[in-house]
Every structure is written in C-alpha cells, then in structure tokens.
C-alpha cells in the first residue's frame, strides 16, 4: 500500500517523551480528519507502545526509540514503534492479558489495549536486538468532506 | 498532576486530573497510598472528571488503590470517568473488579 505521507521521530527512552509521542501522533493523524474518539484511540495505542519501549526495552539505561507515522492511500494510519533494546523472549506470552515483567505501575494490559484500539497489531522481536511494533487503524471518511 | 483530596467522616474523595500515564503513575499511586493510610477511610471515591487522558497506567493505579482499600476494609468507587478513560478500563474488564458510577 502506497505511503502518502510520513514522519519519523527519534527520541531517548525517557518517560517524559510518552506524552510527546502520543501528542505528535494525534497532530499527524489530524490530516485524516478523524473523530475525537479515533484520535483518542490512536493516542492510547501509541502511549502503550512507546511506554513498553521505555520501560521494558531499556530497563537499566536510556536507549533510542523511533516512532514512524504513516498515512497510507486507503485512509489508514500506520504506526511503527521501534527499539534496539533487550527484546521479548516470548511474544505470545507478552501479549497475554495481565502478563507483565514490569513493576506495579504496569498492569499487563498494554498489548490488549493496542489490540482493541487498533485494527491490526504486529510484534516482531529478537532477544538482545530489539522490538518493532506495527499497528494500523483505518480512519473513516466522513460524509461531506 | 496533583491529586486533590478531601476527607469527611472517613469518606475520602480523590480527584485525579490531567494526563495519567506511566510517567505520572508512580507519583499518583504513592499519593493515594499515603492518603488512604492516613485517613483509613470507610469509602474512597476516585473522581476522574478532570482526567484528560489515561492509558493502562490508569488501570494499574485503580487496581492498586482498590487493593489498598481492601487492606483497610473500605469500599471504593470511581465516578465521572470520561469516555476515553472508560474505554480503556472496559478493554481491561475493570468494571468486574471496581464499581464505576
């Protein structure tokens, strides 16, 4: 599917960047004229994916996180969150609701929320190399626009 | 993000406002813990009318407060959750554990 527009953002895995990342995604998505609910769904999913990279990929140090936002020709928003951190040994287990290796601030519901708020979610991970989360959400075309 | 609290006759109300994500979650959890420990309330009401955003960190905060209230044998309810927050909590099935009004 052809990419109509894209931005690529790179930032260190500081928790202060969670808010920045979801706000950037919301601003970029505005080109698709989404409803408030669609924007909130995108912000929530981005927050989860970026927080995972910040908390789990780099547990003891700061590392690089890349957020790619793409608009595809079918009026879909594709979001890629990539890190070069510790990776996930068992992706299926990580995607299980309530499973977490994090501390008490993590509920283990991050992937569940990404799955329910986006249309598609793919997780590729290699232990020791990093993780790439790719998700997409079609934004409805609104009548009269 | 401040947690404003008011206590009257062992009924504690906490207003959690602004954006609640992993960056702010620990601070909010610790403040709620402290308030619950001091007040030993019979009931905790968490008022989310001023919450502009939450992700799964909000789930963790509510589960922790619920557990803490269980330890002091008090009840807990959540009121005025905005639609974005409600959708997150519903995706987690939180209404099976916590009373939303």
**What is the number of domains present in chain A?**
1
In a domain, residue A143? The reply is no
- Identify the helix (H) or strand (E) that includes residue B85: helix B83-91
DSSP-assigned states of every residue in chain A: --EEEEEEEEEES-TTHHHHHHHHHHHHHGGG---HHHHHHHHHHHHHHHHHIIIIISSSS--EEEEEEEEETTTEEEEEEEE-SS--S-HHHHTSTT--SS-TT--S-HHHHHHHHSSEEEEEEETTTEEEEEEEEEPPPPTT-
pLDDT one-digit tens code per residue, A85-132 = 999 998 888 888 877 777 777 778 899 999 999 999 999 999 999 999
Name the active-site residue from A17, A22, A38, A48. Answer: A48
pLDDT one-digit tens code per residue, B14-44 = 999 999 999 999 999 999 999 999 999 999 9
In a domain, residue A62? The reply is yes
Higher pLDDT, A106 or A138: A138
Angle, to 10 degrees, between the axis of helix B56-71 and the axis of helix B22-39?
20
CATH number of the domain enclosing A11: 3.30.565.10
- The range of the structural domain enclosing residue B22 comes to 3-100
For chain B, say whether A38 makes contact (Cβ under 8 Å). no
- The range of the structural domain enclosing residue A26 comes to 3-138
pLDDT one-digit tens code per residue, B68-101 = 999 999 999 999 999 999 999 999 999 999 999 9
Q: Is the pLDDT of residue A53 over 80?
A: yes
Q: Is A17 a catalytic residue?
A: no
A80 half-sphere exposure, CB direction, 13 A CA radius = 15
**What is the number of domains present in chain B?**
1
In a domain, residue A144? The reply is no
ipTM here: 0.91
The pLDDT score that the predictor gives to residue A102 is 72
The pLDDT score that the predictor gives to residue A40 is 97
The pLDDT score that the predictor gives to residue B29 is 94
CATH number of the domain enclosing B10: 3.30.750.24
Lowest mean pLDDT among A8-12, A22-26, A134-138, B22-26: B22-26
B91 contacts in chain A (CB < 8 Å):
109, 112-113, 116-117
Q: Is the pLDDT of residue B1 over 60?
A: no
**How many residues are there in chain B?**
101
């Amino acid at each position: 599917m052809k990419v109509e527009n894209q931005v690529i953002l790179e930032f260190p895995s500081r928790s202060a960047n969670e808010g920045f990342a979801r706000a950037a995604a919301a601003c970029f998505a505005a080109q698709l004229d989404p409803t408030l609910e669609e924007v909130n769904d995108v912000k929530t999913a981005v927050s989860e994916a970026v927080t995972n990279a910040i908390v789990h990929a780099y547990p003891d140090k700061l590392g690089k996180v890349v957020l790619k936002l793409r608009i595809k020709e079918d009026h879909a928003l594709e979001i890629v969150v990539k890190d070069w951190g510790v990776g996930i040994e068992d992706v299926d287990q990580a995607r299980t609701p309530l499973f977490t290796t994090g501390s008490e601030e993590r509920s283990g519901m991050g992937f569940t929320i990404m799955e329910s708020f986006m249309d598609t979610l793919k997780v590729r991970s290699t232990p020791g190399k990093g993780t790439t989360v790719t998700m997409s959400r079609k934004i409805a075309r609104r009548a009269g626009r | 993000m401040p947690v404003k609290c008011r206590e009257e006759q062992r009924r504690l109300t906490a207003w959690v406002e602004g954006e609640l994500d992993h960056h702010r979650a620990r601070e909010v959890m610790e403040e709620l813990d402290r308030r619950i420990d001091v007040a030993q309330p019979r009931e905790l009401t968490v008022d989310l009318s001023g919450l502009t955003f939450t992700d799964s960190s909000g789930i963790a905060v509510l589960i922790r407060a619920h557990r803490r209230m269980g330890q002091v044998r008090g009840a807990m309810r959540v009121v005025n959750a905005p639609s974005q927050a409600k959708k997150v909590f519903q995706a987690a099935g939180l209404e099976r554990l916590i009373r939303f009004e």
